[in-house]
Chains A and B, each alone.
Chain A
Amino acid sequence: MSSEQLLQQAQSTLWLPGALDEPGLVRVMDSMLAKGADFADLYFEKTLSESWSLEDGIVKDGSFNVGGGVGVRALCGEKTGFSYSDQADLASIQRAASAAATVANGKGGRCQAVNRQHPAALYNALNPLDTMGPDDKIALLQSADQLARRLDPGVVDVSVSLAGSWKTVLVLASDGTLAADVRPLVRFSVSVVLQKNGRKERGNSGGGGRVGYEQFDAGTVARYVEDAVKMAQVNLDAIDAPAGTMPVVLGSGWPGVLLHEAVGHGLEGDFNRKGTSNYSGRIGSSVASPLCTIVDDGTLLNRRGSLSIDDEGTPTQHTTLVEKGILKGYMQDKHNARLMGQALTGNGRRESYSHLPMPRMTNTYLLPGEDEPDDIIRSVKKGLYAVNFGGGQVDITSGKFVFAASEAYLIEDGKITAPVKGATLIGNGPQAMSKVSMLGNDLALDNGVGTCGKEGQSVPVGVGQPTLKVDELVVGGTR
Chain B
Amino acid sequence: MDIERELQTLEDRIRLALKLAQQHQATAEVGAVQDQGLSVSVRNGDVDKVEFTRNHGFGITVYKGQRKGSASTSDLSDAAIERAVLAALNIAKYTAPDDCAGLAEVDLMATSVPDLDLYHHWPLTPERAIALAQECEASGLSVASIKNSDGAHVGSSDSVRAYGNSHGLVVAYPQSRHGISCALIAAQGDTMERGGWSYSHRVPGQLQAGEAVGRKAAERAARKLGSRPVPTGDFPVLYAPEIAGGLLGHFIGAISGGNLYRHSSFLENSLGQRLFPQWMNIYEQPHLPQGPASAPVDGDGLPTCNKHFVEQGTLKSYVLGTYSARRLGLVSSANAGGVRNLRCSSTHTQHELLKMMGTGLLVTDVMGQGVNIVTGHYSRGAAGFWVEQGQIQFPVSEITVAANLQDMFLNVRGVGDDIDARGNVQVGSILIDSMTVAGKSTGS
Q: Out of A67, A79, A82, A478, name the residue touching B73 (CB < 8 Å).
A: A67
Find B48's partner among A66, A69, A79 (CB 8 Å cutoff): A79
- Decide if A393 touches B368 in the complex (CB within 8 Å): yes
What's the Cα separation between A354 and B194 when bound, in Å?
28
Q: Which residues of B contact A403 (CB under 8 A)?
A: 368
| A202-B264, A354-B55 as given contacts; A241 in contact with B379, CB under 8 Å | yes
Verify B439–A474 contact, CB threshold 8 A: yes
List the B side residues contacting A138 at CB < 8 Å: 94
A-B contact count (CB 8 A): 246
Which of A23-31, A55-63, A324-332, A435-443 is near enough to bind chain B?
A: A55-63
- Whether the Cβ atoms of B96 and A66 lie closer than 8 Å is no
Output the residue of B91, B191, B440 with the most chain A CB within 10 A: B91
Q: Which residues of A contact B224 (CB under 8 A)?
A: 398
The reply to whether A63 and B71 contact each other, CB–CB distance below 8 Å, is yes
Is B372 a contact partner of A193 (Cβ separation < 8 A)?
A: no
Of listed B193, B380, B400, residue having the most chain A CB within 10 A: B400
Cβ of A258 under 8 Å from chain B = no
Q: Per-residue 0/1 for B403-439: is the Cβ within 8 Å of any A Cβ (1 yes, 0 no)?
A: 1000000000000000000000000000000001111
User: Does B70 contact A60, Cβ atoms closer than 8 Å?
Assistant: no
Q: Which residues of A contact B150 (CB under 8 A)?
A: 274, 276, 397
Residue of B nearest to A246 (CB): B441
Encode A392-428 as 1/0 by CB contact (under 8 A) with B: 1101011011111000000000000000011110111
Q: How many residues of B contact A (CB 8 A)?
A: 75
- The answer to the question of A195 belonging to the interface, with a C-beta cut-off of 8 Å to chain B, is yes
CB distance from B225 to the nearest CB of A (A): 10
**A62-B70, A63-B72 in contact; A423/B441 too (CB < 8 A)?**
no
In the complex, what residues of A have CB within 8 A of residue B381's CB? 393, 400, 402, 424, 426, 476
Q: Which residue of B lies closest to A80 (CB)?
A: B49
- In the bound complex, do residue A422 and residue B379 qualify as a contact, i.e. CB atoms below 8 Å apart? yes
Given A63-B70, A244-B442, A393-B368, are A201 and B398 neighbors across the interface (CB < 8 Å)?
no
A304, B70: Cα distance in complex, Å: 26
Best-surrounded residue of A68, A78, A393, A422 (most CB of chain B within 10 A):
A422
* Distance in angstroms between the alpha carbons of A392 and B101 in the assembled complex: 36
A202 in contact with B372 (CB, 8 Å): yes
The answer to whether A421 touches B377 (Cβ under 8 A) is: yes
Chain A residues, Cβ within 8 Å of B379: 241, 404, 422-424, 476-478
User: B interface, by DSSP: helix, strand, loop or mixed?
Assistant: strand
Residue of A nearest to B438 (CB): A243
B444 touches A244 (CB 8 A): yes
CB < 8 Å: which of A100, A199, A356, A476 contacts B438? A476
A391 to B126, CA, bound (A): 38
B73 near A157 (CB under 8 angstroms)? Answer: no
Interface string of A196-219 (1 = CB under 8 A from B): 000111100000000000000000
User: Does B87 count as interface, using CB distance less than 8 angstroms?
Assistant: yes
B53 sits at the interface (CB 8 A): yes
Chain A residue nearest in CB terms to B75 = A86
Q: Which residue of B lies closest to A193 (CB)?
A: B263
Question: Min CB distance, A278 to chain B, in Å?
Answer: 6
Q: Is B98 an interface residue (CB 8 A)?
A: yes
A85 within 8 A of B: yes
CB distance from B29 to the nearest CB of A (A): 13
Indicate if A83 sits at the interface (CB-CB under 8 A): yes
Nearest B residue (CB) for A74: B50
B87 contacts across to A, CB distance below 8 A: 64
Given A58-B96, A62-B94, A83-B52: A398 and B74 within 8 A (CB)?
Answer: no
The answer on a CB contact under 8 Å between B368 and A392 is yes
Central interface residue in A58, A62, A87, A100, by most chain B CB within 10 Å: A62
Q: B185's contact among A134, A276, A427, by CB below 8 Å, is which? A: A276
| CB of B224, distance to nearest CB on chain A (Å) | 7
Instruction: Answer whether residue B110 sits at the interface, using C-beta atoms and an 8 A cutoff.
Output: no
A427 smallest CB distance to B (angstroms): 7
Chain A residue at smallest Cβ distance from B91: A62
Q: Do A200 and B374 contact each other (CB < 8 Å), given the known contacts A390-B369, A402-B380, A474-B439?
A: yes
Tell me how far the C-beta of A38 lies from the nearest C-beta in chain B, rounded to whole angstroms: 14
Q: Is the CB of B51 within 8 A of A83?
A: yes
Q: Does A245 contact B (CB under 8 A)?
A: yes
**Chain A neighbourhood of B101, CB < 8 A:** 60
B370 at the interface (CB under 8 A from A): yes
Q: How far is the CA of A180 from the CA of B70 in the complex (A)?
A: 30
- Residue of chain B at shortest CB distance from A478: B436
Known A60-B96, A83-B51, A424-B400: A157·B264 in contact at CB below 8 Å: yes
Assess whether B232 is in contact with A356, with CB atoms less than 8 Å apart.
no
Interface centre among A65, A69, A81, A241 (most CB of B within 10 A): A65
Residues of B within 8 A of A99 (CB): 52
A195 to B268, CA, bound (A): 12
Asked if A102 is at the interface of the complex by the 8 Å CB criterion, the answer is yes
Question: Taking CB as reference atom, which chain A residue is nearest B150?
Answer: A276
Of A64, A79, A157, A423, which contacts B46 at CB under 8 A?
A: A79
- With A244-B440, A245-B440 as known contacts, state yes or no: A402 contacts B367, CB within 8 Å: yes
From known contacts A392-B368, A397-B193, infer whether A356 and B262 are also in contact, taking CB-CB under 8 Å: no
Q: Is B244 close to A, CB under 8 A?
A: no
Question: Could you mark each residue 244-277 of chain A with 1 if its beta carbon is under 8 Å from any beta carbon of chain B, else 0?
Answer: 1110000000000000000000000000001110
- Is B43's CB within 8 Å of the partner chain A? yes
A475 contacts the other chain (Cβ, under 8 Å)?
yes
- Report if A39 contacts B (CB, 8 A): no
Of residues 57 through 74 on chain B, the ones whose CB sits less than 8 Å from some CB of chain A are 68-74
Q: Does A125 contact B (CB under 8 A)?
A: no
Q: Give, as a whole number of angstroms, the nearest-CB distance from A241 to chain B.
A: 7
Please report which residues of chain A, range 297-333, place their CB below 8 angstroms from some CB of chain B when the two chains form the complex: none
The one of A78, A275, A400 in contact with B367, judged by C-beta atoms closer than 8 angstroms, is A400
Contacts of B94 in A (CB 8 A): 59, 62, 134-135, 138
Closest A residue, CB atoms, query B100: A60
Contact of A64 among B88, B400, B437, B438 (CB under 8 A): B88
Contact of B370 among A61, A64, A85, A402 (CB under 8 A): A402
**Cβ-closest chain A residue relative to B87:** A64
Beta-carbon contacts under 8 Å, B344-387 to A = 367-370, 372, 374-375, 377, 379-381, 383
Q: Whose C-beta in chain B lies nearest to the C-beta of A65?
A: B72
Chain A residue numbers with a CB within 8 Å of B255 are none
Report if A156 contacts B (CB, 8 A).
yes
Give chain B residues whose Cβ lies under 8 Å from the Cβ of A79. Answer: 46-50
* Known contacts A58-B96, A60-B96, A62-B94; A276 and B192 CB within 8 A of each other: yes
CA distance A411 to B52 in the complex (A): 54
A93: CB under 8 A from chain B?
no
A173 contacts which chain B residues (CB < 8 A)? none
A188 interfacial contact with B, CB 8 Å? no
| Contact yes or no, B50 A244, CB < 8 A | no
Q: Which 10 interchain pairs have the tightest Cβ spacing? A: A476-B400, A402-B381, A402-B368, A58-B96, A404-B370, A63-B70, A397-B194, A243-B438, A424-B370, A62-B91
* Listed A/B pairs (7) with beta-carbon separation below 8 Å: A278-B192, A354-B53, A390-B369, A402-B380, A424-B367, A424-B381, A477-B438
Please name 18 further chain A to chain B contacts, defined as beta carbons within 8 Å, in addition to the given A65-B72, A276-B194, A474-B440, sorted by A numbering. A63-B91, A64-B70, A65-B73, A68-B74, A69-B74, A86-B55, A195-B263, A200-B263, A201-B375, A202-B264, A243-B232, A244-B442, A391-B369, A397-B150, A424-B370, A426-B381, A474-B399, A476-B379
Q: Which residues of B contact A (CB under 8 A)?
A: 43, 46-56, 68-75, 80, 83-84, 87-88, 90-91, 93-96, 98, 101, 126, 148, 150, 185, 191-194, 224, 229, 232, 262-264, 266, 367-370, 372, 374-375, 377, 379-381, 383, 397-403, 436-442, 444
